[in-house]
Amino acid sequence: MDLKTASALRRLRLVSAPEAVSFLVLLLCSVLKRTTDFNAVPVMGAVHGVLFVLYVIFWLDAWNRTRWSFGTAALYFVLSVLPTGGFFAERKLRRESENAVIAARAREEGIVNA
Helices (H) and strands (E) in the chain, counts: 4, 0
Q: Is 83 exposed, middle or buried (0-12, 13-18, 19+ CB in 10 A)?
A: exposed
What span, in angstroms and rounded, lies between the C-alpha atoms of 27 and 33? 10
What pLDDT score was predicted for residue 112?
A: 61
Give 31 or 3, the one with higher predicted confidence.
31
Lowest mean pLDDT among 68-72, 74-78, 81-85, 98-102: 98-102
pLDDT tens by residue, 29-61: 999 999 999 999 999 999 999 999 999 999 999
